[in-house]
Structure 1
Amino acid sequence: MTVERIALRESQLLIEDGIAQFSHQRPAARNALSAALRLDYPQMLDRVESDPNIRALVITGEGGSFCAGGDLKSMRERHTSANPQDRAPDGMRRRLLGMHAWMERLHSLEVPVVAAVDGAAMGAGFSIALVADFILASSRAVFCMSFAKIGLVPDLGAFYLLPRAVGLPMAKELALTARRVDAHEGQRLGFVHAVHEPEALLAEAMRFARRFVAGPRESAGLTKRLMNQSFETPFRALAEMEAQAQGIASTTPYHLAAVAGFLDGKPSMFDWDRNQA
């Protein structure tokens, strides 16, 4: 068993048995999204994207919080900075565009992404959870589009991600009221996949992610890319993209081996219902 542990600025990347685990490591600040933590995301993505042996990514937070959103101390420092550029609207715009660049990469990552949410997923932390393909939450997890509480608009892709997760009317309610949603309500609304006790959450998230290891990496990536574009792409264009993707998938070694195995009476290499260990 090979384990690779990479200490980043304010996070840690652990790679083991085909699963990458990225953990926010600012527990004293409830893993608020500092400038250093924001810089860790593209570095993590560089490593994950470059390794075809990684079959799933789990994102989590240390110390009972997933991510409490933007770092308010940093915001106050910018507001009181002697440098006019720090306070300028264009400064905020550029910072956010920089974050959007790695959020788009995370959204398009061609392996399943699992968010293991314990405790707070507030503001931008909620957006990071929503960009995952699956959210597994602890029974004490709390989600909140908290931006209105400090006079801001939702960010980090929330205007794209939230309506697709819960529908437009509910997205408006959550954004305009900034009310808190617990794990069980999140499950009823459809954006939480499963709820576990806090002490079991990470193990369950890793077990869930491990079930993808035997799966077809190429077709999983193609499926994600097409699904991510399904709401804004016309039928004809999406059908053309589907045909092209199927042309690629049908020539992969995985597909050829799977067909041959089926015809020879062998068990499927990827069986979600069977591979629950």
Structure 2
Amino acid sequence: MSQLEIQIADGIATLTMNRPDARNALGDELKAAFAAAVPALVRDGDVRAVVLTGAGGVFCAGGDLRAMLAAREGMTTERWRQRMLDLHPWVRQLMELDKPLIAAVDGAAYGAGFSLALMADFVLATPAARFCLSFMKVGLVPDFAAMHSLPRVVGVQRAKELMLSARELRADEAQQLGIVMEQCAAADLLPRAQALARSFTGASPMAISLIKREVGMALATPLDTTLAHEADHQALCYQSSYHAEAARRFIAKEPAMFSWPQT
């Protein structure tokens, strides 16, 4: 059985980290599965949205510390650095995915597991969800792009506090900080995430891609550049067949092609 189960149906890809005996820790096999799966999702035009979750009541406990300690013998700084660099292609592709990415978090999202959740456009969580950038507890720095993503969600000061304290966030505080978008019961978590993903199968892929790209660059982009990009992208979307049909339906008071699912 693969440590990363992939189910594709009705335009939705559901990725389940399936290593419950190790709390879905990111060992070499699971990372290799991501490295194979993510580029395939990028290329698959039939996949319109992606849900990422974990099996066994845990999202992901982070790196496999036992495996990391076992690998220390004979491991130079440069070799370890290269191991990290080898992860970057699929990490970058997941961060820049031009399709909605929804994280469904139950239980622990620790270390790199928290980093994975931060890659998502929307994080849904159960009341039992726990978030922690635990790296400082073992003398490491956050990875899997958390130093890029977390300050953009919670601000620089709070990001430093969460990284340096390595304290745990419960679901309520994570929602207050904007890390979690909404909470739901464990039994409703995956159905809600998939309903949200399903709503995007009726949306404009072009508009989604352009919105994600522009918002992702917003904090590093001057206003004049943003305004120019808005004009470019709006012109592209205006000429699309999707916009023409969506506008026609709106005027005719017909059901919309895209509608955010109600809670």
Superposed pair shares fold, TM > 0.5: yes
The equivalent residue for 1:152 is: 140
1:54 pairs with one of 40, 44, 47:
47
Distance 1:44 1:245 in 2: 29
Partner of 1:140: 128
Name the residue aligned to 1:64: 57
Partner Cα separation in structure 1 for residue 143 and residue 257 of structure 2: 40
Q: What letter matches 1:28 in structure 2?
A: D
Q: Is the counterpart of residue 264 in structure 1 residue 252 in structure 2?
A: yes
- 1:245-264 equivalences in 2 (<5 Å): 245-264=233-252
1:78-127 alpha-carbon deviations (Å, 9 max, x no partner): 11x2xx3xx21112211212222211111111111000011110010000
Measured in 2, the distance between the counterparts of 1:240 and 1:98 equals 35
Once residues 119 and 169 of structure 1 are traced to their aligned partners in structure 2, the CA distance between those partners, rounded to angstroms, is 26
* Secondary structure in structure 1 of the residue aligned to 2:202: coil
Question: Which residue pairs with 1:243 in the alignment?
Answer: 231
Aligned twin of 1:117: 105
Structure 2: distance between partners of 1:109 and 1:264: 34
Q: Structure 1: how far apart are the matches of 2:77 and 2:22?
A: 26
State whether residues 211 and 276 of structure 1, in contact with CA within 8 Å, keep that contact through their aligned partners in structure 2.
Answer: no
Partner SS for 1:69: coil
Separation in structure 2 between the aligned mates of residue 43 and residue 61 of structure 1, nearest angstrom: 18
> Matches of 1:120 and 1:34 in 2, distance apart?
16
Residue by residue, what CA displacement relative to the aligned partner does 1:140-175 show, whole Å, maximum 9, x if unpaired? 111000000000011110111111111111111100
Hey, what does 1:39 align to over in structure 2? 32
Q: 1:191-210, aligned counterparts within 5 Å? A: 191-210=179-198
Work out the CA distance in 2 between the residues paired with 1:198 and 1:92: 37
CA contact (8 A) 2:39 2:90 kept: no
Following superposition, the deviation at residue 263 of structure 1 comes to 3.4
Q: Distance in 1 between matches of 2:143 and 2:134?
A: 10
Structure 1 counterpart of 2:7: 14
Instruction: State the AA in 1 paired with 2:4.
Output: S
Residue matched to 1:180: 168
- Write the letter of the residue equivalent to 1:66: F
1:26 & 1:69 partners in 2: Cα distance? 12
The 4+ residue runs of structure 1 with deviation greater than 3 A are none
Q: Calculate the TM-score normalised by the size of structure 1.
A: 0.90
Structure 2 letter corresponding to 1:198: A
Q: CA deviation at 1:182?
A: 0.7
Q: Distance in 1 between matches of 2:62 and 2:128?
A: 17
Q: Deviations over 1:165-206 (max 9, x none)?
A: 111111111000100001111001111011112222112211
The one-letter amino acid of 2:188's match is A
The worse-fitting range, judged by mean Cα deviation, of 153-162 and 204-213 is 204-213
Change (3 A) 1:265 1:118: closer
Does structure 2 conserve the Cα–Cα contact (< 8 Å) formed by 1:207 and 1:276? no
Work out the percentage of aligned pairs sharing the same amino acid.
41
- Measure, in 1, the Cα distance between the counterparts of 2:10 and 2:35: 22
Structure 2 residue identity aligned to 1:251 = Q
Q: Which amino acid aligns with 1:37?
A: L
How far off is 1:58 after superposition? 0.3
The runs of 5 or more residues in structure 1 that have no matched partner are 1-6
- Per-residue deviation at 1:217? 1.3
